[in-house]
Amino acid sequence: MAWTWFHRLGSPPYIYSLAARLTPWFAWPAAALILGGLYGGLVLAPPDYQQGDGFRIIYVHAPSAWMSLMVYMTMAISAGVGLIWRMKVAHAVAASCAPVGASFTVCALVTGSLWGQPMWGTYWEWDPRLTSELILLFLYLGYMGLRSAMEDVQRADRSSAVLAVVGIVNVPIIHYSVTWWNSLHQAPSVMKLARPAMPASMLIPLLMMLLGFTLFFVAVLLVRLRGEILSRERSASWIREAVST
Amino acid sequence: MSDCCLQGENLHLWRGARHVLRGVHFSVTRGECLQITGSNGTGKTSLLRTVSGLMYAEEGRVLWDGRDVRKDLLGFHADLAYIGHEPPLKADLTPRENLRYWIGVRRPVSRDEEDQALHRVGADSWSDRPVRTLSAGQKRRVALAGLALMAVPLWLLDEPTTNLDTEGQRLVGSLIEEHLAAGGLVVAAIHHDLSVSATALRRLELARE
Amino acid sequence: MHRSAAAAAPRRAGAGALAMTSALAAARLTLVRDLRLAFRKRGQLVQPLVFFAIVTTLFPLAISPELSRLRDVAPGVLWVAALLSSLLALEFLFRDDAHDGTLEQYALSGQSLTWLLFAKTVAHWLLTGLPLAVMAPLAGLSLGVPASAVPGIVVSVAVGSVALSLIGSVGAALTLGVKRSGALLSLLTLPLSMPVLIFGARATELSIKGGDFSAPLQLLGALAVLGVTLAPLATAAAVRINLE
């Protein structure tokens, strides 16, 4: 049966043990990449010719911003899978994603505003990227708020899944409209990440950080997923066996 | 099997960590009434809601005329009437208006049919008063009128006699009898005995976990 | 297999094959019912409008009575007030129907739930969005907006409120199972409404300045169309989940 793997993915005991086995495979490379990336970015890379050392916050800001979106996508896709195929594990993945994603979003917002201080002279500028990020944080908070407001796990899973799917449809619209709004009111932002001429000594640490953050997210997700599965299946017999061994 | 109209096969339902329905089997044919009994909290309402498709059974299936109802849920719903604990009535509309909008969504109802149904449940004198002024028993009677008006083969009734006086309870019994005689099916969660002939009555006792 | 037996026999004796209500007629009945109910409870209907009037009154008091200054912030004031009052009106959208079991009957009616809920949302827009579009220019005039801007304001609020009603219907359906859902409802709905606010306020601003507001209006229309296509599906899914 070609679908066996899919059904295995729907089995909480299987996922529980799989997550335990996979975690180190993501956690260690993540640690190595992040440490390497930080060293490369904060020590080895030359200061920016315009911003001096201030630009170095990019090594945390850009990966956080990238992850805030990635995690939302992961959350929405797994919520959608859970909704369509009624897969409990997929809902557990979505539920585990939300706080991680919200943390990345907060991190991106904080680093963004810290970066704003030397660049714009203020801690907060209604820059389209930061504004979108702020709305994304509201979307995460709404998702978590809806989950926590519902006592019944199945209902919380399925309702919040609808919200996540609606949210992911809206994310590009929000981003586009915010960019459009911003372009009306001020000159294009000075903060351009995608400068083509970034030298390799700056770019390579950034890519390392991006990959490191992604792996870090997967590792955290796996750990949280195990916790989530434990709390959901606490009355199931396989849990007692898994915990006692 | 050939005359078996509604079947439940191995229905399992979980609510969070609670295993509400644990492999329920039943089958009812035309002209039969299935009486679901069991003390409070044994899942009578959950079973009715699972059969109707409002709740989703993680395991097992419901067959309507031999076919899984999930394959054609709209078609199945067009064949069933479900009356829950509360009569689905709007307090600011009269019984007549309520029936018009409630039943009208399913099938067009003529004024004559409306009159007949309201007369049948003894609502002639108060059919044009706002529902908010009616007693709980009167509301229940309006719901029964709606049930009769839907003209569907399958009735799923959750405690249909709540709030009714003896006469009202007899009314429920005779409505069910007529429905069975016309070849309908009834699944009812009901405490006291129904005035339905023993040959047409089946029982399903739900036990506590 | 035994389809024929089931199809013919279970209908009531003598009735023969009964016609089902067409989807269009069912939607019309749903719409008419909601309008009739609303007119029996006029107080509920007026509340969001009064709220809108009060919120727009707050701004002159908080900022300054100078019309020239108010004119600059008028688009923002009008749209924030419209957004908040449409949010306030959402509480009535499904609450009663969920309470008295009407939603359950819709879900089991054999008609498409998506379609019936869409009809309800249209009724809701007729009762809250459209009156808002009429009120908005009046409030605008009191904020020093020139009379020439009135058509632009009416059109943009009318189109924008379609999108707001649709987004709101998803939020209202999602929070059906939650007690005291007001704050949660705004947390879910407001972030999703921000594009409507942006394009709506821009269209209003351009019409006040006497410019061509067709571009933001078209974007607003695009949001409304997208809402009409997708929101009822999400609303129906959310209602079903909360009936479980």
So what's the pLDDT on residue C11? 42
Closest CA to C104 of A181, A65, B83: B83
* C3: helix, strand or coil: helix
Helix, strand, coil distribution of chain B in percent, nearest 5: 40, 25, 35
With an 8 Å Cβ cutoff, is A150 touching chain C?
Answer: yes
Does the distance separating the beta carbons of A139 and C195 come in below 8 Å?
no
Quickly count: other Cβ atoms within 10 Å of residue B36's Cβ: 25
* C2 — pLDDT class (breaks 50, 70, 90): very low
Chains that touch C (3 or more CB pairs under 8 A): A, B
Amino acid letter, residue A128: P
**Nearest CA distance, B20 vs chain C (angstrom):** 13
Residues from chain C contacting residue B84 (CB–CB below 8 Å): 101, 104
On the 0-12 / 13-18 / 19+ scale of CB atoms within 10 A, C53 is middle
So what's the pLDDT on residue B2? 42
Q: Give the position of tokens 């649709």.
A: C166
Interface test with B, best of C35, C108, C115 (most B CBs within 10 A): C108
Total structural domains within chain A: 1
| A143 occurs within a structural domain | yes
Strand partners, B157: B83, B188
* B52 — pLDDT class (breaks 50, 70, 90): very high
Does the distance separating the beta carbons of A152 and B16 come in below 8 Å?
yes
Strand partners, C192: none
Residues from chain A contacting residue B61 (CB–CB below 8 Å): none
**Dist CA C170 CA C94 (whole Å):** 10
The answer to whether the beta carbons of residues C131 and C39 sit under 8 Å apart is: no
CA dihedral B180, B7, B99, C26 (to 10 degrees): -130
| C5 occurs within a structural domain | no
Closest CA to B140 of B197, B62, B88: B88
With an 8 Å Cβ cutoff, is B209 touching chain A?
Answer: no
Mention every residue, 6+ apart, whose C-beta is less than 8 A from residue B111: none
The answer to whether the beta carbons of residues A67 and A213 sit under 8 Å apart is: yes
The answer to whether the beta carbons of residues B8 and B51 sit under 8 Å apart is: yes
Mention every residue, 6+ apart, whose C-beta is less than 8 A from residue B127: B94, B95, B96, B118
Query: What is the chain C residue with the closest CA to B152?
Result: C11
With an 8 Å Cβ cutoff, is A86 touching chain B?
Answer: yes
User: E-assigned strands of chain B?
Assistant: 4-15, 18-29, 33-37, 59-64, 67-68, 80-83, 154-158, 185-189, 201-205
Q: Give the position of tokens 């129904």.
A: B194
The answer to whether the beta carbons of residues A116 and A123 sit under 8 Å apart is: yes
Residue C76, by phi and psi: left (phi above 0), alpha (psi -120 to 50) or beta? alpha
Cα four-point dihedral sign C173, C178, C183, C187: negative
Do the strands B18-29 and B185-189 form a parallel or antiparallel pair, or are they unpaired? unpaired
Chains that touch A (3 or more CB pairs under 8 A): B, C
The answer to whether the beta carbons of residues C113 and C236 sit under 8 Å apart is: yes
Does the distance separating the beta carbons of C188 and A155 come in below 8 Å?
no
Amino acid letter, residue B51: V
Q: Tell me the mean pLDDT in the region B41-59.
A: 91
Residues from chain A contacting residue B14 (CB–CB below 8 Å): 154
So what's the pLDDT on residue B185? 93
* B209 — pLDDT class (breaks 50, 70, 90): low
The parent domain of residue A160 ranges over 55-187
Closest CA to C12 of A24, B149, A138: B149
Query: What is the chain C residue with the closest CA to B78?
Result: C110
DSSP per residue, chain A: -TTHHHHHHT-HHHHHHHHHHHHHHHHHHHHHHHHHHHHIIIIISPPBTTTBGGGGGHHHHHHHHHHHHHHHHHHHHHHHHHHHH--HHHHHHHHHHHHHHHHHHHHHHHHHHHHHHHHHSSS----HHHHHHHHHHHHHHHHHHHHHH--SHHHHHHHHHHHHHHHHHHHHHHHHHHHHHHHHHSSPPS--S--TT--HHHHHHHHHHHHHHHHHHHHHHHHHHHHHHHHHTTTSHHHHHHHH-
CA dihedral B99, B104, B106, B107 (to 10 degrees): 110
| A153 occurs within a structural domain | yes
Residues from chain A contacting residue B16 (CB–CB below 8 Å): 152-154
With an 8 Å Cβ cutoff, is A152 touching chain C?
Answer: yes
Q: Tell me the mean pLDDT in the region C3-22.
A: 50
Per-residue exposure over C98-107, b if at least 16 CB sit within 10 Å of its own CB, e if not: bebbbbbbbb
Q: Up-side HSE of residue A146: CA atoms within 13 Å toward CB?
A: 34
Q: Which helix (H) or strand (E) holds C180?
A: none
Give per-residue pLDDT as tens, C103-121. Answer: 999 999 999 999 999 999 9
For chain B, what is the mean pLDDT?
89
Give per-residue pLDDT as tens, B133-157. Answer: 999 999 999 999 999 999 999 999 9
| C4 occurs within a structural domain | no
* C145: helix, strand or coil: coil
With an 8 Å Cβ cutoff, is A152 touching chain B?
Answer: yes
Give per-residue pLDDT as tens, C38-91. Answer: 998 888 889 999 999 999 999 999 998 898 899 999 999 999 999 999 999 898
**Dist CA A161 CA C169 (whole Å):** 16
Q: How far is CA B110 from the centre of its chain?
A: 23
**Nearest CA distance, A152 vs chain C (angstrom):** 10
So what's the pLDDT on residue C170? 97
Amino acid letter, residue C58: L
Residues from chain A contacting residue B17 (CB–CB below 8 Å): 232, 234-235
Query: What is the chain A residue with the closest CA to C223?
Result: A173
So what's the pLDDT on residue A84? 93
Residue C20, by phi and psi: left (phi above 0), alpha (psi -120 to 50) or beta? beta
**Dist CA C133 CA C232 (whole Å):** 22
Q: Tell me the mean pLDDT in the region C170-185.
A: 92
| C6 occurs within a structural domain | no
| C9 occurs within a structural domain | no
Residues from chain B contacting residue A86 (CB–CB below 8 Å): 56, 58
Q: Is pLDDT at C207 greater than 70 in this prediction?
A: yes
**Nearest CA distance, B60 vs chain A (angstrom):** 14
Query: What is the chain C residue with the closest CA to B113?
Result: C15
- Output the pTM of the full model: 0.91
Q: Is pLDDT at B164 greater than 60 in this prediction?
A: yes
Do the strands B67-68 and B80-83 form a parallel or antiparallel pair, or are they unpaired? unpaired
Q: Give the position of tokens 């099997």.
A: B1
Q: Tell me the mean pLDDT in the region B105-131.
A: 92
So what's the pLDDT on residue C32? 95
| A195 occurs within a structural domain | no
A184-193, B69-78, C19-28, C84-93: segment of lowest average pLDDT: A184-193
Total structural domains within chain C: 1
Q: Is pLDDT at C232 greater than 80 in this prediction?
A: yes
| Grouped pLDDT means (10 residues each) for chain A, 245 residues | 62 88 94 93 81 84 94 97 91 96 96 86 86 95 95 92 96 91 64 60 90 96 94 78 70
The parent domain of residue C203 ranges over 24-243
Token pair recorded at residue A229: 């599965």
Q: Chain A neighbours among B 12-41 (CB < 8 Å)?
A: 14-17
Q: Chain C neighbours among B 63-82 (CB < 8 Å)?
A: 64-67, 74-75, 77-80, 82
Q: How far is CA C111 from the centre of its chain?
A: 22
| A127 occurs within a structural domain | yes
Residues from chain C contacting residue B154 (CB–CB below 8 Å): 10
Interface predicted TM-score of the whole assembly (ipTM), two decimals: 0.92
Residues from chain A contacting residue C219 (CB–CB below 8 Å): 177, 180
Q: Which of B15, B17, B56 sits opposite A235 (nearest CB)?
A: B17
A82-91, A166-175, B98-107, C17-26: segment of lowest average pLDDT: C17-26
| C74 occurs within a structural domain | yes
Residues from chain B contacting residue A152 (CB–CB below 8 Å): 15-16
So what's the pLDDT on residue A186? 57
So what's the pLDDT on residue A1? 43
**Nearest CA distance, C190 vs chain A (angstrom):** 9
Q: Is pLDDT at C235 greater than 90 in this prediction?
A: yes
- Tell me the CA distances in angstroms from C156 to A235, B2, B58, C129, C207, one per residue in order: 55, 61, 47, 11, 9
Strand partners, A62: none
| C184 occurs within a structural domain | yes
Does the distance separating the beta carbons of C190 and A138 come in below 8 Å?
yes
Q: Which of C178, C194, C202 sits opposite A149 (nearest CB)?
A: C178
With an 8 Å Cβ cutoff, is C220 touching chain A?
Answer: no
So what's the pLDDT on residue A2? 53
**Dist CA A105 CA A111 (whole Å):** 10
So what's the pLDDT on residue C6? 38
**Dist CA B153 CA B155 (whole Å):** 7
So what's the pLDDT on residue A184? 78
| C97 occurs within a structural domain | yes
Q: Chain B neighbours among A 154-173 (CB < 8 Å)?
A: 154
